[in-house]
Amino acid sequence: MNRIIGFGVFVVVLAAASSAQTDLPDPTTELLTQLIRIDSTNPPGNDERIADLLASKLAPLGFQVETIPTPVSGKVHFLARLKGRGTKKPILLAAHADVVGVERAGWHLDPFAGLLQDGYVYGRGAIDNKGSLAVFTAALMRLAKEKVPLERDLILLSEADEESGRYGTEWLAENYFQKIDCAAALNEGGWIIQNSDGSVRYVSISTADKISIWFKLTSHGTTTHSSMPVRNDDAISQLARALTDLANYRTRVQLLSSTRQFFLTLAQVSKPPKSEEFKRLVGGTNQEVAEADLEISKDPLLNAIIRNTLAPVFLNAGFRGNVIPGTAEATINLRLLPGTNIDQVIDEVRNVVHNPQIDVAISGGGGPGTSDDVQALRDHFQAVGNIEPSRTDTELYQALALQGQAQFHAPVTPYLFQAGTDAAAWRKRGIPVYGIYPYPVPASDLSRMHGNDERVSVRSLAGATDFIYDVLLHVAGPNNACRLQRNRSGKQQRRGKWFSP
Ligand SMILES: [Zn+2]
């Protein structure tokens, strides 16, 4: 613990070590440590304290700030609007303020202390998604401080109830859509993946999310004394066989156009034989695709974006030590590609299970005993399951691609996000949403997200703030202002200050 020092102490130590020392931690790092110190584990969320912190920073810089209370006390959305000339619709930057809980025993340091160690900020939410909230806020503050004349409003949204709860962006959009209406939005999603030498391998920007829904397997057998089992008839053994069959089953490979581009990008930044596998997955014969799939799907993340997946999440059976129960239940979480027909998937599952004594039905995700309003689940799936991926020919996507390349010297690709986000509130209203965690992270650090010792590097945070600042300058500054300039040899270079060509 001796090398772990709080941010406040860090500043004091630096100052004491050398009075000439000027490299204080950058504003994004400072803000992130402050955000982490507000424990916003949801439930309950504590978003109001986050809103107060952001308001105290943004209101003095001229942002119009507003806190939108939800029916739950202390649970709020926060909006800050930096006014522009209004010649174009606003751009919105959304990040959720709530975080998932922690298993404290698995952490090597206090997850809510906002600690700096070895060049990293540690804490719950460092990646997901207080890091983004800090980067978006810092980039906007920089534009405000520099008094960049803006063509359009820029809106920061700090969201409640993304990780759980009923008052997330769907609720916000239903009740206050005019406040979050925009030409396009940034949200969490894609990755800037770092190589071990610190260089960036690729930048992925999500244009669609997978959709989550559940089904339940209910197996039926004879209830009887456990001293006289009937071979192959008991509910638990039948359910176990069905689960084994499902675990061994491979759903077919389906590539969205963004996924094709993503794998072609991976091919470009990989060495053989990997690069060849990625190319075969996209353009090979059926046999080649099947062979490539066998290798590629060993990576759980890559597997998740090329097919519908199913994962058992609850089991429920038995009530006495001397009774063979008549029923056994398993709840399975399906993660589906956009455009999937849910009834076809349920039929597919029935075929795999192939047992008339097992019912297969859509259910809620709460596990055994939850009341499942199947119609409501179907309606929800209908509403989000067929959302078109966001287009890539928009000003915001093009700016992300251009500045991403300039900042990180790596290819930029659209991407299907393997999980769900709260982007549906905009996408289903026809507004494009681009998902990105704007800081470079090594792939090995991704498991820390929702896991233990979550962290993001101070250097990544600074680069992320430059990146987002440049993107905003590009889409909202005067005459497509930017910091990029060609030098004599024709190479693009970034200037320290923005300018208008
Ligand atoms: Zn998140």
Q: 268 C-alpha to center of ligand 1: Å?
A: 29
pLDDT confidence of residue 257: 94
Distance CA 252, CA 281 (A): 12
Give distance in angstroms: CA of 242 to centre of ligand 1: 33
Distance (Å) from CA 422 to ligand 1 centroid: 9
CA distance 398 to 479: 15
Please give the structure tokens belonging to residue 365. 């995700």
- Under the banding of pLDDT at 50, 70 and 90, the label for residue 18 is very low
Lowest-confidence segment of 2-11, 57-66, 192-201 by average pLDDT:
2-11
Paired tokens of 282: 């996209």
Q: How confident is the model at residue 22 (pLDDT cuts 50, 70, 90)?
A: very low
Strands 115-117, 120-122: pairing kind: antiparallel
pLDDT band for position 3 (cuts 50, 70, 90): very low
- DSSP of 270-312: S-TTHHHHHHHHHH--HHHHHHHHHHHTTSHHHHHHHS-EEEE
Question: Residue 338: pLDDT above 60?
Answer: yes
What is the distance in A from the centroid of ligand 1 to the CA of 156?
A: 16
Q: What is the pLDDT of residues 155-191, one digit of tens each?
A: 999 999 999 889 999 999 999 999 999 999 999 999 9
Mean pLDDT of the chain: 91
Whole-prediction pTM: 0.87
For residue 341, report the distance from its CA to the centre of ligand 1, in Å.
26
Under the banding of pLDDT at 50, 70 and 90, the label for residue 480 is low
Ligand 1 center to residue 213 CA distance, Å? 18
pLDDT band at residue 21 under the 50/70/90 scheme? very low
CA-nearest of 136, 15, 14 to 80 is 136
With bands split at pLDDT 50, 70 and 90, how would you rate the model's confidence at 20? very low
Ligand 1 geometric centre to CA of 301 (Å): 16
Per-residue pLDDT of 230-281, as tens digits, reads: 887 899 999 999 999 999 999 999 999 999 999 999 999 999 999 999 999 9
Q: How far is the CA of 285 from the centre of ligand 1 (A)?
A: 37
Read off the pLDDT of each residue in 406-423 and give the average, rounded to a whole number.
93
Whether 388 shows a pLDDT value over 80: the answer reads: yes
Compute, in angstroms, the gap from residue 98 CA to the centroid of ligand 1: 8
What is residue 4's predicted lDDT score, i.e. its pLDDT?
Answer: 40
Instruction: Lowest mean pLDDT of 56-60, 122-126, 208-212, name the range.
Output: 208-212
Residues whose CB falls within 8 Å of the CB of residue 347, separated by 6 or more in sequence, listed in order: none
Other residues' Cβ atoms within 10 Å of the Cβ of residue 60: 9
pLDDT the model gives residue 491: 72
The string of DSSP codes covering 224-281 is: EETTSPPTTT-HHHHHHHHHHHHHH--PPP---HHHHHHHHHHHHHS-TTHHHHHHHH
Q: How far is the CA of 421 from the centre of ligand 1 (A)?
A: 7
pLDDT value at residue 17:
36
Mean pLDDT of 333-355: 95
More confident residue, 228 or 82: 82
3-state SS, 416-455, equals: EECCCCCCHHHHCCCCCEEEEEEEEEEHHHHHHCCCCCCE
Which of 19 and 144 is assigned the larger pLDDT? 144
Q: Is 14's pLDDT higher than 60?
A: no
* pLDDT confidence band for 370 (50 / 70 / 90): low
CA of 43 to the centre of ligand 1 (A): 15
